Amino acid sequence: MQLSGKVALVTGAAQGLGKGCAEAILERGAKVALLDTNESAGQETAADFALKYGADRCTFILCDVTAKDQLEGAFQKVVDHFGGLDLVVNNAGILNEVQWEKCIDVNLVSVVRGCHLGLRYMGKQNGGNGGLIINMSSVAGLYAFPSPVYATTKAGVVGLTRSLGMDYKLGRDCVRVNALCPSFTTTAILADPEVPEDQYQHMKDMLERGGGLMQIPDVVKGLAKLLDEDDKNGAVLEVTVQGMKYHGDESGPWDRESGTHQPNLCIA
C-alpha cells in the first residue's frame, strides 16, 4: 500500500509495538492518529512525532478501545481531523489472566469493533475508498501458550482476520484485512508480567528455546511486509527471531479437491 498522503489510525500507540508501527507509517508519508488510554505517554509520543514529521501529520486521541462510544468517537474524530481513513492498526492489547474478561474485551471485542468501524469508514459499499486493516495477534494465537485466555483472544483475532479477509468481502469493500503474529518482543507488556509465576517461568523457558527476544524494529519489518504485499488478504504473518512466515494457506474442505482459490477481486 502506498502511504504517502494517506490517513492511518493506530490503537495502543502511546508506546511499544503500536508506537513503532505508527512511526513506520509516518516514515512512509501518511498522517497518523494515535489512540491510547495512557494520556501522558500518548501526548509525549505525539509531540515527538510532530517534531520529526510535522505537527499536521500526527494527533493523539485519548481512547479506551473497550468503551464503544469512545472508539466510535475516535474514528469519527480521525475522519473529521484528517479528512479520511485508509489504514487501521488494531494493536492495543493486554495480558491479564485474572481480569480475563477485560483481556477478552481489550484484545478481541475491541478488535472486532475496530474492524467493523474500519469497514464502515473505508468500505466502498459505505462510500469509502477501500483500505487496509492490520490486526495485532501473536504467536500465542497460533500455538499452545501458558496464558490460555490471552491465547484465546489472539487465536480469535486470527479467525476474525481470515474470515473478514475472504475474497468475496474484498470484492464488496475493497478493504484488505491481515494479521501480524509476533513472538516475545521487548516492550512493557513483558517487563510488567500480569501472570502467575508458573506461567511466567514457562514463558521464559519458551523464549529461550525459541531463540530469544525480538526488538520493536523486528516486528515493524513484519508490518512493512504486510503494507508492501498488496495481494495479501486474510493473511496471517508470524514474525519471530527465526524469520517471517505466512500461516493458513491450506485449502478448506470446500476447495481441497479442486485446489482452486478465488482470486482477489479488488486491490485497495
Ligand X SMILES: CC[C@@H](O)/C=C/C=C\C[C@@H](O)/C=C/C=C/C=C\[C@@H](O)CCCC(=O)O
Annotated catalytic residue within 121, 143, 150, 200: 150
Q: Select the binding partner of residue 195 from ligand NAD, ligand X, none (C-beta < 5 to 8 A, by kind).
A: ligand X
Strands, E assignment, the chain: 7-11, 31-36, 58-62, 87-90, 131-136, 175-182, 236-240, 243-247
Q: Within 10 Å of residue 21's Cβ, how many Cβ atoms? A: 28
Selection from 18, 256, 229 nearest residue 114 by Cα: 18
Report if residue 85 touches ligand X, rule: CB under 6 A.
Answer: no
Q: Select the binding partner of residue 36 from ligand X, ligand NAD, none (C-beta < 5 to 8 A, by kind).
A: ligand NAD
Binding site for ligand NAD (CB under 6 A): 11-12, 14-18, 36-38, 63-66, 91-94, 106, 136, 138, 182, 184-185, 187-190
Q: Select the binding partner of residue 204 from ligand X, ligand NAD, none (C-beta < 5 to 8 A, by kind).
A: ligand X
Distance of CA 120 to the CA centre of its chain: 17
Segment 184 to 203, residues that bind ligand X, using CB under 6 A? 184, 186, 189-191, 193, 195, 200, 203
Burial (CB count within 10 angstroms: exposed 0-12, middle 13-18, buried 19+), residue 39: exposed
In terms of phi and psi (left: phi > 0; alpha: psi -120 to 50; beta: otherwise), the region of 127 is left
- Cα distance between residue 141 and residue 236, in whole Å: 10
Q: Which is nearer to ligand NAD, 91 or 199 (CB)?
A: 91
Segment 88 to 117, residues that bind ligand X, using CB under 6 A? 95
Among 139, 220, 223, 268, binds ligand X (CB under 6 A): 139
Binding site for ligand X (CB under 6 A): 95, 138-140, 183-184, 186, 189-191, 193, 195, 200, 203-204, 207
Q: Tell me which residues are annotated as active site.
A: 150
